Amino acid sequence: MVGIKNNRRAQYTRQVIQDAVLSLLESKTINNITVTEVCKMADINRTTFYRYYDDVYHCVDGIESEFIESLNEGDVESPSQGMEMVLNEFYHRKRLSNLVFVEGKTRLLEKMFEDFGDKAPNVDEYQDVYLMAGIQNVLKKWVKDGMKLTPHEVTKKIISLVFADDIQSLRDRIKR
């Protein structure tokens, strides 16, 4: 017999639960979502929910972990290629990306940056925090603006900002 993790029916049930949580997160913060609401929306009973998750936070943590794992599957040759790959994933999974950037809902960005930060070569801790905060806010703006720019265009903007391509132009405007 196949274990609970690999059973198709179990995978389907987990997906239905995750979809219900994602739907509820579009209109509520995570701390205002109850297991009862999730079960009603997913058309399952509470026992089924608790077979897979301890609570709603555990479910969201699972969604986030699966997303991060999917990002780690690709081969990345450069930081800009990695950035574009991440943006493409968000672009194609808009439902997930729309809610992870809203304050107080999830910690996906924080987890992603922790994961990617562990792979960064000899970057000063303060520089790392500064860069990640800037990138995080650019990504939030991109999502809140409806992802009108392509992932490639946003990657170019981030790279330009990181390498301060327009810093002299900014200095000139400030002096006026």
Instruction: Report pLDDT digits (tens) over 110-164.
Output: 766 666 655 555 667 888 788 888 888 898 899 888 899 999 999 999 888 877 7
pLDDT tens digits for range 16-68: 999 999 999 888 888 899 999 999 999 999 999 999 999 998 998 888 888 88
Q: Are 38 and 49 in contact (CB under 8 A)?
A: yes
Q: What is the pLDDT of residue 61?
A: 86
Q: What is the pLDDT of residue 1?
A: 43
Q: How is residue 124 written in tokens?
A: 């000063």
Residues contacting residue 6 through CB under 8 Å, at least 6 positions apart? none
Euclidean distance between the first and final Cα of the chain, in Å?
Answer: 74
pLDDT tens digits for range 68-118: 887 777 777 777 787 888 888 888 888 777 666 555 555 676 766 666 655
Whether 167 shows a pLDDT value over 50: the answer reads yes
pTM of the model: 0.72
DSSP annotation of 176 reads -
